[in-house]
Chain A
Amino acid sequence: MGAGSSTVGITGCGHSIYLKKSDRTLFSFLAEAARDALASAGLTRDDIDGLAVCSFELPPDNAVTLGEQFGLSLSWAYLGTAGGAGPVASVANSIRAVESGQAKAVLCIAGDNYDVSGHYRLMDRFNKALINYGVPHGFGGANGLFAMIQRKHMETYGTTRAQLGRLAVDMRANARANPAALLHGAMSLDDYLDARVIADPLRLFDCVLPCQGAEAVVVTTLDRAPPGKGVRALAARERHNHPVGELTPLRGGWELFRDALYADAGMGPADMQFVQAYDDYPIMVAIQLEDLGFCPKGEVGRLFDANSFTWQGSLPVNTGGGQLSCGQSGAGGGMIGLVEAVRQLRHEGGERQIANVSRGLVSGYGMVGYGHGLSTSAIILERLP
């Protein structure tokens, strides 16, 4: 998207309940999040003429047939294609759609209804390259691939599991102040370090719990926001398939657009009052923080040693607990941080509200190809004064 918009932004946010397993349909989760976001925006169904949806399980349905399910007449429809990077990109594209007059108000939804076995089935038919050259090896789904990335980061830069664990432990503390999180139990660093091995060096608390749920925001002109509830985007970017041809890179597309992102926003990483980073694994949060300029490449271990990441910490990260503690509702995992950011900026964070917060960064990541996530995205958000 490049530079942000002064007239169009996010005016509502919502989510569905998260469940580990149930007979509910995907539509029911998407609908629950949609109703919650509309109410938050102070709009009704008749105000919505744009729909953006990100969901792995939606096919054979799509944005248009979801519109039919919801009874919407649409002038703009968008189906995300970038996995966990898709929802942030969908919001940036929705802002442009409203600015250019293609829609007046866009509902952006992301969600899925998975359980653990459903997640493995998804990864076994994720794309041709994985089906042909990963699945027949017993690759272990995303866990096997990201275990190789984490080992490479540890061996290249000296990053330790104890450093990564500090992040996981602080995110669990955040979740304990979030009634919507699926994982509430207290977790110590020893709990993290000693957990069951899933794909060495990854252990249980490095891995998300696939679940059912959905997240949503409303994008429209900021003059329609309820008083004190508008959030504008200062800048947003996306990048796919960088670095080309590497299988388990220790960097991603963020490193290419970081400077332009901060230049468009007129501020830098030190100005961010929180980061909602895509946390399929702690190692990917670490790589995002490096690529987004919070420390030089390879020095994230020291950043972890020197900071705390709770909502009260020196560098608040995933203030609602992230996917690692809330659960990963498929593509909804790419919007959970965005919704938490909007909630914080509307000062609706409840028990976990960051005091006087006015701006922050949300980062997306996803679409695992032959080895790693191909898609990256980021958006800088600011509370309207």
Chain B
Amino acid sequence: MTPAYPQPGVDLDNARFIIAWRERGRLVLQRCRGCGAMIFYPRTMCPGCWSPDLAWVEASGRGVVVSYALVHRPNHESFNGEVPIILAEIALAEGPMMIARIIANNPATIRTGLSVKLVSDVGRYPLPTFTT
């Protein structure tokens, strides 16, 4: 049985991001039409130039581990059977940084600098989640 993970809130600022992941397993990011910046997490306006004119673009789903933690005491009981949770700061190929979970059979193989890509099972994890 799939454990009941805590779910993100969905609102008009982030619905495209949440739904693209939930329904298609794809990562979408905002691109500012004012200054060209790629943005994560979703905002109502570009934090760089304050333009409200933001487009949604599909990302490659690839990135590189910048730092990581092996969490043995998660914040919610639904994760207790899956420790350690591999929590990573990931530099996405498109530029933005993201904090996300990595799924790996052996957490000891995780290293800074490792290339990661989105997991392929659609609908299991509440947010874009990566694997090696």
Contact = CB atoms under 8 A, between A and B. Distances in A.
Contacts of B78: 138
B89 A135 contact: no
B74 to A, nearest CB: 4
A140 B8 contact: no
Contacts of A199: 69-73, 87
B67 to A, nearest CB: 4
Contact of B99 (A131, A152, A198, A247): A247
A246 B71 CA distance: 21
Interface string A343-385: 0000000000000000000000000001100000000000000
Interface string B89-115: 100000001011100000000001000
B126 A139 contact: no
Interface in A84-120: 120
A27 to B, nearest CB: 28
B88 interface: yes
A158 to B, nearest CB: 14
B101 A138 contact: yes
A140 B67 CA distance: 15
Given A133-B99, A137-B100, A138-B78, A143 B73 contact: yes
A148 B126 CA distance: 21
A135 B76 contact: yes
B8 A138 contact: no
B66 interface: yes
Given A136-B5, A138-B5, A248 B67 contact: yes
B85 A138 contact: yes
Nearest to B73: A198
B89 A197 contact: no
A170 B66 CA distance: 31
B2 interface: no
Contact of A140 (B75, B88, B125): B75
Contacts of B75: 120, 123-124, 135, 138-141, 144
B90 to A, nearest CB: 10
Contacts of B14: 132
Nearest to A123: B75
Contacts of B66: 152, 248
Contacts of B85: 137-140, 144
A269 B79 CA distance: 45
Nearest to B41: A133
A200 B99 contact: no
A149 interface: yes
B19 interface: no
Given A136-B127, A245-B47, A131 B8 contact: yes
Given A140-B85, A140-B87, A155-B112, A132 B8 contact: yes
Contact of B82 (A124, A138, A246, A371): A138
Given A136-B126, A370-B41, 8 more contacts: A131-B8, A134-B99, A139-B74, A139-B87, A140-B85, A151-B112, A197-B72, A198-B73
25 contacts: A120-B75, A128-B9, A129-B41, A131-B9, A132-B9, A133-B8, A133-B41, A134-B99, A135-B8, A136-B5, A138-B71, A138-B74, A138-B87, A138-B101, A139-B75, A141-B75, A144-B85, A147-B87, A149-B67, A151-B69, A199-B69, A199-B70, A199-B73, A201-B69, A248-B66
